Amino acid sequence: MIDPVTLAILKGRLEQIVDEMDATLFRSAFNPIIAEAHDASHGFYDAAGGDTLVQGKSGLPIFVGIMAFAVKAVIGKAASDGNLADGDVYIFNDPYAGGSHLSDFRLVKPLFRNGQVFCYLASVGHWHDVGGNVPGNYNPVATECFQEGMLIPPVKLFTAGRYNQDIVDILSANSRLPGSLYGDLNGQINALDLGTKRLVELLDEFGDAVVLEALSMLKDRASKLMRSHIESLPDGVVSAEDFLDNDGIVDAPLKIALDLKISGATMEMDFSRSSPACRGPVNISKSTTIAACYVALKHLFGDVPANAGVLEPVSFVIDDASILAATAPKPVGGYTETILRLIDVVFQAVAQIAPERTNGCAYGTINALSIAGYRSNGSRWVMFSFFGGGHGGHPNGDGLSHGNAPISTATIPPLEILEAAYPIMFTQWALRPDSGGDGKHRGGLGAIYEIELLEEHADAFLFGERGRFAPPGVLGGCSGALNRFTYDTGNGPKSPPMASKMVGIKLERGQRVRLETPGGGGYGPPEERSDEARARDIELGYVTGKLQ
């Protein structure tokens, strides 16, 4: 039994190593999605089952759950290969074996101690471009994963420490931006090298057995705490439903439904009433569904340590034919939209039994916008970024304006960095008045981003949601504003037929695209909002008082 002080030190040391791995990749990566938006993550995973042991504070929350499945996939592949060796590193992006979408490349490395695997280290990062029909890979009209980019199963990037250049050559040949790919790949290798070095130092200092025991104690602590939280909720079933606008192919809403059953210290999340798998790219794999629920639970019960213990008292019911259980080759490129909706239904369900823990829904779409073309010198450029919106009102006050998505801690790249890197110019970067849902505590405001092209020609692509179904409030709070995307190619502003999804908008120099993102949903009934708060909203222009 480890004493509490040693346990606290080890917990700190392990998290510190993972944080340092995150920081190493953020600083040395080439593409701003990793370097600025921190769409990456690192961790240590169980040698036998791949469960998350340690996760950093700065990595993308949704990857916490997903990475465990990724490591499991490598464990399976290594077992069938039958030749796992010290110095091996696997690389892959297969979304069905380890979640998310093709842009996320994972590197998984076993750490050997005395001839045995002690644990796995893993690094995941969102690469700038991995081929497919749409630069930046958010292809809203994909009907098979093959249109979304190259799919790489777990293969060895390093064999016993030897770098397999052939693999890198294949990857590079399939990307529009091989230079960026090379930089990001090296950044991820840097992070694994550093993590290995630091972890070995730690094991040498404390002993392997002590560290293993500490890891298991930390997991027990998480599951115990989670059980006590669930136990404080009343037994019974509550339900919530929300919708995706469409799948980009068929313009019909898709339902995400949750029946949440509390029974003593355990929780069942039943998604049986959700829509079946769809043609377009908003399907997600079962592992991604579970990872999204993990994120929602961590938001509600923030004091539970971030490891596999969180999910120990939780069971899932997910139909194999569901939109939440996709298998190859169903397209999954827009996975972010579906997991955001999953988190929204968890908040809406929990609001019914624990109003003091929940909040209005956040803006609920990643708004992946890419603009791509060639510079006058012939070089290719791809601007790709995610955009922000409002958070929901909550028990303590109005929602945060211009926050990041609940599945991430990503910051937005500075517009000056985007302008320095690409031939574009922002003509507006502002809060969007009237976008926060009314309520006792108003939802935070979304944003307006307007971009003008400075080169001769370019194509623009958008993958967004909440164009038809606004972010709901809770406990009587109103919805935030809908997502709105317009583009002006010379004949006045137009909107995409699928609301927030569109491919191949042809832009000429001087033409603009404009994104107006949703605010958050309100918390509590509008009648309870104070007169002072309403007067201030008008004075500062958060609310215009004009009819929308």
Which residues within the stretch 49-88 sit at the binding site for another protein (CB under 8 A)?
A: 57, 61
- Which residues on neighbouring strands pair with residue 52, listed in sequence order? 45
The verdict on 409 binding another protein (CB under 8 A) reads yes
In this complex, which beta carbon is closest to another protein, that of residue 37 or of residue 97?
A: 37
Footprint of another protein on 279-318 (CB under 8 A): 298-299, 302, 306
The verdict on 431 binding another protein (CB under 8 A) reads yes
Q: Which of 209, 237, 317, 417 binds another protein (CB under 8 A)?
A: 417
The verdict on 426 binding another protein (CB under 8 A) reads yes
The verdict on 434 binding another protein (CB under 8 A) reads no
Question: From the CB of 413, what's the least distance to another protein, in Å?
Answer: 7
The verdict on 348 binding another protein (CB under 8 A) reads no
Strands, E assignment, 25-103: 40-46, 52-55, 89-92
DSSP state of 403: B
Question: From the CB of 172, what's the least distance to another protein, in Å?
Answer: 13
Strands, E assignment, 184-283: 236-244, 254-263, 266-270
Q: Sign of the C-alpha dihedral, residues 108, 113, 117, 119?
A: negative
The verdict on 186 binding another protein (CB under 8 A) reads yes
Question: From the CB of 194, what's the least distance to another protein, in Å?
Answer: 7
The verdict on 365 binding another protein (CB under 8 A) reads no
The verdict on 396 binding another protein (CB under 8 A) reads yes
Choose the stretch contacting another protein; rule: CB under 8 A; options: 72-80, 234-242, 365-373, 403-411: 403-411
| Token duo for residue 548 | 């929308």
Question: From the CB of 246, what's the least distance to another protein, in Å?
Answer: 26
The verdict on 164 binding another protein (CB under 8 A) reads no
Sheet of 314-317, strand order: 236-244, 254-263, 266-270, 314-317
In this complex, which beta carbon is closest to another protein, that of residue 208 or of residue 450?
A: 450
Question: From the CB of 412, what's the least distance to another protein, in Å?
Answer: 4
Distance CA 4, CA 127 (A): 40
Question: How far, rounded to the nearest angstrom, does the alpha carbon of residue 156 sit from its chain's CA centroid?
Answer: 26
The verdict on 179 binding another protein (CB under 8 A) reads yes
H/E run at residue 186 = helix 178-206
The verdict on 158 binding another protein (CB under 8 A) reads no
Footprint of another protein on 91-150 (CB under 8 A): none
Footprint of another protein on 3-42 (CB under 8 A): 5, 8-9, 12-13, 15-17, 24, 26-30, 32, 35-36
**Pseudo-torsion of CA 347, 407, 153, 109, nearest 10°?**
-120
The verdict on 173 binding another protein (CB under 8 A) reads no
The verdict on 250 binding another protein (CB under 8 A) reads no
- How many separate helices (H) and strands (E) can be counted in the chain? 10, 20
Q: Which of 166, 416, 527, 531 binds another protein (CB under 8 A)?
A: 416
The verdict on 180 binding another protein (CB under 8 A) reads yes
Question: From the CB of 258, what's the least distance to another protein, in Å?
Answer: 18
Question: From the CB of 147, what's the least distance to another protein, in Å?
Answer: 27
Question: From the CB of 167, what's the least distance to another protein, in Å?
Answer: 17
Distance CA 529, CA 440 (A): 4
The full 3-state SS of 453-478, as one line of letters, equals ECCCEEEEEEECCCCCCCCCCECCCC
How many chain residues bind another protein (CB under 8 A)?
77
In this complex, which beta carbon is closest to another protein, that of residue 3 or of residue 527?
A: 3
Cβ–Cβ < 8 Å for 391, 520: yes
The verdict on 427 binding another protein (CB under 8 A) reads yes
Residue 209, SS3 per DSSP: helix
Question: From the CB of 134, what's the least distance to another protein, in Å?
Answer: 21
Phi then psi for 173, rounded to 5 degrees? Answer: -70, -15
Question: From the CB of 382, what's the least distance to another protein, in Å?
Answer: 12
Distance CA 487, CA 514 (A): 6
Nearest to 333 by CA among 413, 374, 278, 296: 278
The verdict on 232 binding another protein (CB under 8 A) reads no
What is the contact mask toward another protein in residues 192 to 211, using x (rule: CB under 8 A)?
-xx-----------------
Question: From the CB of 418, what's the least distance to another protein, in Å?
Answer: 9
| Token duo for residue 310 | 């969180």
Residue 429 vs residues 33, 451, 495: alpha-carbon distances, Å: 19, 9, 20
Distance CA 242, CA 492 (A): 33
Cβ–Cβ < 8 Å for 243, 340: no
The verdict on 391 binding another protein (CB under 8 A) reads yes
Question: From the CB of 431, what's the least distance to another protein, in Å?
Answer: 4
